[in-house]
Structure 1
Amino acid sequence: MSGSSLKGTTAVTGVKPTELKIGAPSDFDGDQKNAMSWLYSVQTYLLVNEELYDTDTKKVVYALSYMKKGVAHSWAATFQKVSLEKTPPSFGTFADFTKYFKESFTSPDTVGTAIAKLYVALIEFFSQGLKPFITNRIHMMETTPTKIEGWYTQAQKFDAKWRKVNEISGRKEKKMFHPRNNFSKEKDPNAMDVDGVRLSKEERDHHIKEGRCFGCGNKGHLSRECPDKGKTPQKKVKKICKIVEVEESDDEEKVAGPSIALVNIARALGKDF
């Protein structure tokens, strides 16, 4: 039975049609994600109850009655005010209401939405190639970049800082002092090194008694004033060989040859007599 037939029947019988509360819409708060589904539910309900909502004004006012939350409430209040201030008051057609509603609560920028989704995918792909600590630093920023350009910039900054820290750490490690081990061979605790020549306690006492230089073995000067100071030990040994003679024996005989001190010095230098 058509709608016109029902209206004719109502007019003849005088019976008021009953409102079928099937799929009544919920309150709309202005969320764009739910805008179209809410509008469809309003249109469906009005179609089922077209005998009751048989004018544009009834349909528009019905839709406005479910816009009670959030920004939708402010929008509906403004729409009602403008409509009632017209002369005469008019809510316009339901088709115009539907068009105005879509312009206000749905996003026509499908290209912009697609680009935004692309940015998210690019950021995800880019962040997977970064060092984990750089990704974490960017996410921990007070304002995390929402575009790939921002991620590029911040990643470069944090990477440069990381390289600088590593460079400084590397320099410090290279400058660390590692003392050499010069004590691999045991030394006689009673011996004394003088300018590279090793003297025992007895030899040192003998040099002091004779007034000899600890370095070259000559008399008349101290080791700090030695003219041969700084020369190689081998040169010192050759010079000492020329000037040193063993001391007089108990029977006042002299024996040519190296002294005990000279022998010890030569042995210390790897020489044999």
Structure 2
Amino acid sequence: MEGQQQQQQPPLDQVIALAVQQAVAAIIPDLVNHLAQNPPNLNLPAPIINLSPNLANVIAAAMPQPPPPQSREPLLRKPDDFTGNKKDYREWNMKITSYIASANTSLNTDEKKIRFVCSYMKEKAGVWAEEQLTARTTNQNWMWNDFTNQMKERFVDKNDKEIARNEIATIQQGNTRAEEFFTKLASLRIRAEYTDPLHDAIIINRLKLGLKTEIVTAIVASGNEPATIEGWRNRVIAVEEALYTHKPKYEVKNSFKPSTTSSSSRAPPPPKPTPSLPLGDPMDIDKMRKEGRCFKCHQKGHLARDCQNRRREVREIWMDLSTEEKRELTELMTANNQSDFTPPQA
């Protein structure tokens, strides 16, 4: 009988396998519920640990784990060193702050940012940076905003506003593209503190002197000048594209017609139209606004957008064109999506 009972007992490996199957079957519902509630991080439920610690470890190791956090490398090129030249500071500061913003996790504290900036300061700027690093004590918390204000105080020219205003007063497009011209102008406006809408009249009149003559002529002759700087920007870029990419035959007679003679006998370029409002202090704008004067002709009784002096100038330019030139200019503006273009009436 004892022999028969021993033969009827299953092998030990089968007993272990059966126990494992039963343990797995018992914990699967709890495991599924747990994973559904906590997919990113696997914290094993108590039944797994109580029933079979080894099995719990095996299952945990087999489950997909979240990838370790990785610091995103900046996409921008690292800035050049800053030597302390005040003319270079604004551009350098813009580049290095943009790089820090793109660095994400690698420069995520004020102290890391400050030390990173100091590492790109050489010569005169490097001496100043070393003084800042030396003056810091271990108990002192570095504040990024305080540091940037100190840099601005040290490296921004005290006369920067007046310098920017003088640059606006003499800005010329030359051979640069319109997009680059307006990008530079936007930077100068911030430095000059010409950001109020009341300053638009000053900037627009300066644009007419600084942009290429043929571009200004095409826009003025359209009879529908933009009223804002952004409007001028969009129109100038579009007209530039039409004039120099498609190369139409459009020309303007008399004072606006480009000379076709050789360089040795070429006549001097015609003077550009004088601005209706000189570039001056913003207080001039405020004064005229309070007195109810036009920003263009300085007369009382109407706004700049209703000024008749500009309209007479546009009509004179238009009437000076030949029939063929009028037709080509109309086609140019229409092809350039200037659907609101209306030829001036005599």
Flag the structure with larger Rg: 1
> As a proportion of its length, which structure holds more helix?
2
TM-score by length of 2: 0.27
TM-score by length of 1: 0.34
